[in-house]
Amino acid sequence: MKNPVRTIAKIFAVVAVSLVSVHVHAADKTLINGAGATFPAPIYTKWFQDYNKSHPAVEINYQAIGSGGGIKQLTEKTVDFGASDAPMTDAEIAKVGGAVIHVPTVLGAVVITYNLPTVKQAIKLDGAVLADMFAGRILKWNDPKIAALNAGVALPNTSIIPIYRADSSGTTAVFTEYLKKVSSTWSAGAGKTVKWPTGVGGKGNEGVTGQVKNTPGAMGYVELTYATAEKLPMAELKNKSGAFVAPSMKAVSEAAAGALKTMPEDFRVSITDAEGKGSYPISAFTYLLINKEMAGVKGKELVSFLNWAMTDGQKSAPALSYAALPASMVPKIQAKIKTIVAK
């Protein structure tokens, strides 16, 4: 089956995804604009296309500009919805001037991908070593600390070139939150933007993926879909239980399982470094950010789309390397969607 995300680079060469139906007059269309995370952009692209086919009077445009950019545009009211992998803080919500509803859409994995053509098996890393690599304390791929985790692997004497997100990024927030949890020496902090000690920046998940693909010795952090689409190798990471786990939908779902027991009412939750023998340690929900007081036809149509995303939309997740929402969460999210004031 043809990989539906193979044309990611072409998709993001377009400033916005515009879905046009020739069967509906432009004046009769409802145009909804959103912006934000690149992490879920492949599945959002498919969702908006699929939804438009069954609802040709509704056109949803999405700009994949990074979580920080999406929150900024939502705050400035230049879009109808935002998108972020990192939940908004209370301070960020206050700046919007109204209640913001976080709607979890799917789950994904932030993977560590690298460019080492001579290494044929997946490299194993733990949090402490990974943090030292991105901090510039480990400089070569055959460093004894990496070798100790990869017995029998012929690691090259190649310089490590960390690739990080240059834009304000929810993927960065998830990744650095993980580093902060697992490394006592990580000093760059956590958030959508940090001051990286070393390395080269790339814009968006697709930018980091491209840099890694084209730079021998490079390593970067990207959403699973992007590494899969480019057939890049991915590291197995040591989780909280001490097991080395490869990124997968099953491993992401297991990371989320523990959070379901203590899930807050607003769904703002972290599942990095989660419990569970099979859990992948850099997993995350990704969110659509909706102003609760979004009114008018746009509000009604957006509510309709969100309900569709909770049901039919979830079926698309596995083919694009995302994990569908846990079934027990969906009714709770639908109840929250009902609170959107769409008069």
pLDDT of residue 342: 59
170 and 125 in one domain? yes
- Domain that residue 327 falls in: 8-107+284-337
Q: Is residue 208 part of a domain?
A: yes
Is residue 204 left, alpha or beta, with left meaning phi > 0 and alpha meaning psi from -120 to 50?
A: left
Residues contacting residue 94 through CB under 8 Å, at least 6 positions apart: none
Q: Strand pairing of 100-114 and 218-223?
A: antiparallel
**CA 51 → CA 87, 88, 225, 287, distances in Å?**
25, 27, 21, 18
142 and 54 in one domain? no
pLDDT at 341 over 80: no
Q: How many residues does the chain have?
A: 343
135 and 98 in one domain? no
Q: Which of 260, 292, 320 is the last residue of a domain?
A: 260
Bigger pLDDT: 138 or 291? 138
CB 226 within 8 A of CB 206: yes
Q: Which of 245, 260, 275 is the last residue of a domain?
A: 260
Q: Which of 226, 260, 294 is the last residue of a domain?
A: 260
243 and 181 in one domain? yes
Structure confidence by residue, pLDDT tens digits, 180-212 = 999 999 999 999 999 999 999 999 999 999 999
Q: Is residue 20 part of a domain?
A: yes
Structure confidence by residue, pLDDT tens digits, 35-52 = 999 999 999 999 999 999
Q: Is residue 274 part of a domain?
A: no
pLDDT at 14 over 50: no
CB 66 within 8 A of CB 234: no
223 and 119 in one domain? yes
**What CA–CA distance (Å, rounded) separates 306 from 116?**
41
Structure confidence by residue, pLDDT tens digits, 78-125 = 999 999 999 999 999 999 987 899 999 999 999 999 999 999 999 999
The DSSP code for 6 is T
Nearest-10 crossing angle of helices 170-182, 127-135: 120
239 and 134 in one domain? yes
- Residue 92, classed as helix, strand or coil, is helix
162 and 241 in one domain? yes
In total, how many domains does the chain have? 2
Of the candidates 129, 128, 120, 206, the one whose C-alpha atom is nearest the C-alpha of residue 163 is 206
pLDDT of residue 293: 81
**CA 292 → CA 312, 331, 343, distances in Å?**
23, 18, 11
210 and 82 in one domain? no
231 and 128 in one domain? yes
Q: Strand pairing of 161-165 and 58-64?
A: unpaired
178 and 228 in one domain? yes
Q: Is residue 310 part of a domain?
A: yes
256 and 114 in one domain? yes
**What CA–CA distance (Å, rounded) separates 337 from 305?**
10
Q: Is residue 268 part of a domain?
A: no
312 and 218 in one domain? no
Q: Strand pairing of 236-238 and 124-125?
A: parallel
**What CA–CA distance (Å, rounded) separates 34 from 31?**
10
Q: Is residue 55 part of a domain?
A: yes
* Cα-to-chain-centroid distance, residue 74: 18
Q: Is residue 276 part of a domain?
A: no
**What CA–CA distance (Å, rounded) separates 305 from 5?**
22
**What CA–CA distance (Å, rounded) separates 242 from 239?**
5
Domain with residue 249: its CATH number is 3.40.190.10
To the nearest whole percent, how much of the chain has pLDDT over 90? 86
Q: Is residue 2 part of a domain?
A: no
Task: Give me 38's structure tokens.
Answer: 């690149």
Share the mean pLDDT of the chain. Answer: 92
Task: Give me 149's structure tokens.
Answer: 């985790």
